[in-house]
Amino acid sequence: MDRTVGLLGGGQLGQMLCEAANPLGVKVVILDAENSPAKQVNAKASHITGSFTDPEKIRELARQCDILTVEIEHVDTHVLEEIAEEGIEIQSADGKTTRKKVQVQPNWKTLRTIQDKFLQKEHLAKHGVETAVSQAVESDKSGLERVGKELGFPFMLKARKDAYDGRGNFPVMSAQDIPDALEALKGRGLYAEKWASFKMELAVMVVKTSDNTLAYPAVETIHQDSICKLVYCPPRGISTHLQEKAQDLARKAVGSMWGNGVFGVELFVMENDTIILNEIAPRPHNSGHYTIEACPTMSQYKSQLLSILDIMPSFPGNKIPSLSPATVMLNILGGASKTSHNALVQSAVATPSAALHMYGKESKPARKIGHITLVAQTMAEAEKAMNPMIALADEMRM
């Protein structure tokens, strides 16, 4: 593989991407802070120290690679547009200035549309994908009171940009919460979403190639305080038909985007079994970590690489199967002290069917610092083995 990939962001998703790139012989150059998790596992290239929001650093990265991709959507898309459309200036050995073509995958239009959650929802509505009813809001008391009347209480107030792990969401239970909501999300562009009384949350990883989309299995996700805690594959207690509907909707949503790559699609299953879309991530996703063990020859990270390199193989029925009958993934979040997670880590190591992934990040309360994936022959067996670890995770929660 002679093409070099440039990666904006070097967190745990970038780390697992590099782990998938190594056996493929793909060189990945990373732009992020010194010693970020992805850099810790990748000595193949000399990396760039800086921020993935800094246009000059992004240009420096572009000069060293053939394809740019992301592990986070909160990047500067204007400089990515410039690089994709005009190329990047480079100095040749004889001092001449030339322009080099660099691809941006997925396309900057996809990143720009998705990174603003309200724009994303408008785009999806236009393409016939149902989401929670969303509306623009005036960020003041009377504006939100009007939203309360129109959407009803509770509603979810959301920051349009820079949201992750629920940091950007405020559930407005009644008109009394409005001042607190405005204070919590002060200074950020906002929109409001009708409350979705879902009975289950699902997620589907989708790979977009230049002429197709491929779906991984639907998984059940469990969030606590808006942070993903657990993933179950297959989802518990919903029909195969509904799982296929989720895969079809996720493929349709990703099919409306531009460029190649892997996407995480978050969905709500409503009481009447209709499925609506929550949001899309244009990159590997927490709900797809399980694919490292459950799809050992085609993890979500390998798929991101093969799709952006445009060498993704095809799969029967456009579905990438799980090779594990039952899989459960548990996130490890930092606890009150730097060592709170030790008992959980020891328990994972002592469980032969569990795979431990620690990211090399400093532990801070509620920060994602690792995860555990457990594979089994049946879901009952998987739950039995995972439940003691869930209990340990609950004990260390802040």
Nearest CB to ligand ATP, comparing residues 62 and 118 = 118
**CA dihedral over 109, 114, 115, 117, signed as positive or negative:** positive
Nearest CB to Mg ion, comparing residues 82 and 201 = 201
Partners of 231 in the β-ladder: 221, 329
Q: Which residues of 185-217 are buried (b: 16+ CB within 10 A; e: fewer)?
A: beeebbbbbbbeebebbbbbbbbbbeeebbbbb
Nearest CB to ligand ATP, comparing residues 134 and 260 = 134
Q: Which does 149 bind (CB under 5 to 8 A by kind): ligand ATP, Mg ion, none?
A: none
Nearest CB to ligand ATP, comparing residues 3 and 161 = 161
Give the span between the Cα atoms of 40 and 183, in whole angstroms. Answer: 38
- The CB-of-279 to Mg ion minimum distance in angstroms stands at 5
What does residue 38 show for φ and ψ, rounded to 5 degrees? -65, -40
Please give the single-letter amino acid code of residue 377: Q
Among 10, 14, 168, 235, binds ligand ATP (CB under 6 A): 168
Q: Rule CB under 6 A: is residue 223 a binding residue for ligand ATP?
A: yes
Q: Which does 14 bind (CB under 5 to 8 A by kind): Mg ion, ligand ATP, none?
A: none
Give the span between the Cα atoms of 355 and 359, in whole angstroms. Answer: 13
Interaction mask 110-139, ligand ATP, x per CB under 6 A: ----------------------x-------
Q: Which does 196 bind (CB under 5 to 8 A by kind): Mg ion, ligand ATP, none?
A: ligand ATP
How many residues form the binding site for ligand ATP (CB under 6 A)? 19
Among 143, 166, 189, 234, binds ligand ATP (CB under 6 A): 166
Give the span between the Cα atoms of 258 and 141, in whole angstroms. Answer: 38
Q: Which does 223 bind (CB under 5 to 8 A by kind): Mg ion, ligand ATP, none?
A: ligand ATP
Among 266, 324, 328, 335, binds ligand ATP (CB under 6 A): 266
- Footprint of Mg ion on 235-294 (CB under 5 A): 266, 279
Nearest CB to Mg ion, comparing residues 148 and 261 = 261
Give the Cβ contact number of residue 104 at 10 Å: 28
Nearest CB to Mg ion, comparing residues 276 and 355 = 276
Determine the interface stretch with ligand ATP among 121-129, 166-174, 310-318, 329-337 (rule: CB under 6 A): 166-174
Interaction mask 186-205, ligand ATP, x per CB under 6 A: -------x-xx----x----
Contact set with Mg ion (CB under 5 A): 266, 279
The contact set with ligand ATP (CB under 6 A) reads 132, 156, 158, 163-169, 193, 195-196, 201, 223, 226, 266, 278-279
